[in-house]
Copies of this chain bind each other. A is one copy, B any other.
Amino acid sequence: MEALGAWRQRVASELDAVVAFWERNSHDPQLGGFFSCLSHEGNVYDDTKYVWMQGRQVWVYSRLYRTVPRFRRPELLEAARAGGEFLLRFAPLGPDSPRVAFALTRDGRPVRTQRNPYSEAFVAVGLDELGRAAGEPRYRAAGRSWALALLGWVRGAPLELGPPQFSGSPPRQALALPLMALTVAEQLLGGDPKTQEPGGDPQIEELAEWGAHAALRHLQRGDSVVLENVSPEGRELPGSLGRLMNPGHALEAGWLLLGFSGRRGEAALGTRALGALVTGPLAWGWDPQHGGLFAFLDADGHCPTQLEWSMKLWWPHLEAMVALLAAYEHRPDPKFLEDFDRVATYAFDKFRDPEHGEWFGYLSREGNVALSLKGGPYKGCFHVPRALMMCEEMLGRILEREGASK
């Protein structure tokens, strides 16, 4: 097993290379905003600007600027601000609509929407963090208005442009929704445990509580599985939809719930998250034949209908790295560090591009690069830098706590 100190160095230097890739290739100084469709060398192959990716990159740059001393460079904050201004100006579908576009043309005209409210959530986290980094309350106020829209929707307010409902379609909750609610709420409540203000924003605290409790409804069959879709009351749904599992989402839920339970002092919740959302998904989600985490599985062992089910995607491996270090901080069991070493070794070996920076996103089941692109409609400047900065910070705390011997 590689020493933790060596991992911290490797993670930090990879973070530098990854951020450099995005700074070098994704900015649009003419029209603002960020390109995300980048080839493996960093060339723009499509100039569509995806709102998820704008909000996420604003968040990454702002968080790096605010919390990682070597990234406190004015040009990084300026790039984040340019992204935030682009979002404020072009993302909303209209002055009276809380909904934002999913994709924009290079010059900011709306191309299409999504039925789900995830674009709004990424706008909220990006603007809130920009407000903190820049010290400008107006960004945080704008972010909060989208967070409150999300609170309204999870409470049941009708979602403009949402999916039509039919009698044969049972109401369902996708795990992504509580994960988004928890991500937004924890961001607005402080971003990291040291700066929380408990009770400071009851509405946002309600959003966090809804997210945490709604996420738990996806733990089924005595916590032995995590189902991607359940009824709003937490019952299993029939068919492939009801049996679908997504190891990456389960592991992301793991570290989000560990953070929530730590902040709130809910020890039992933390213990449950460790077992059902970290140890569990790493076991059932791992490909025993070729290594790596599957994209999707069926809880009863049927073949999933998603064509990419057995592909190895970059982000579940990064969620696993974060979840395992968060688990070790919660309960210092060396098994978590051994698993971190195994997952991080697989991820660095398979996804990393030492030549051009940033990771490949999509491998075949066997672990070969299947899509040579570095960014696209759903992959931008987010999972790699977010996970690396979180891992660097956690590895630093662990090393500090345990002394330099490890």
Binds B, one of A105-113, A314-322, A345-353: A105-113
A161 an interface residue at 8 Å Cβ cutoff? yes
**A225 → chain B, closest Cβ, in Å?**
16
A169 an interface residue at 8 Å Cβ cutoff? yes
Chain A interface residue count: which class?
Answer: 35 or more
A118 an interface residue at 8 Å Cβ cutoff? no
Indicate how many identical chains form the complex.
Answer: 2
**A109 → chain B, closest Cβ, in Å?**
3
Majority secondary structure of chain A interface residues (helix, strand, loop or mixed): loop
Binds B, one of A26-34, A42-50, A259-267, A386-394: A42-50
A20 an interface residue at 8 Å Cβ cutoff? no
| Candidate in A37, A48, A166 with the most chain B CB atoms within 10 angstroms | A166
**A240 → chain B, closest Cβ, in Å?**
5
**A122 → chain B, closest Cβ, in Å?**
19
Binds B, one of A80-88, A196-204, A276-284, A366-374: A366-374
A sample of 5 inter-chain contacts (CB < 8 A) reads: A109-B168, A110-B166, A111-B169, A113-B166, A307-B370
Known: A47-B238, A111-B168. 20 other contacts (CB 8 A): A37-B305, A45-B298, A45-B303, A46-B241, A48-B239, A101-B166, A103-B168, A104-B168, A108-B168, A109-B168, A110-B166, A111-B166, A112-B164, A112-B169, A113-B166, A303-B373, A305-B376, A307-B308, A308-B308, A310-B370
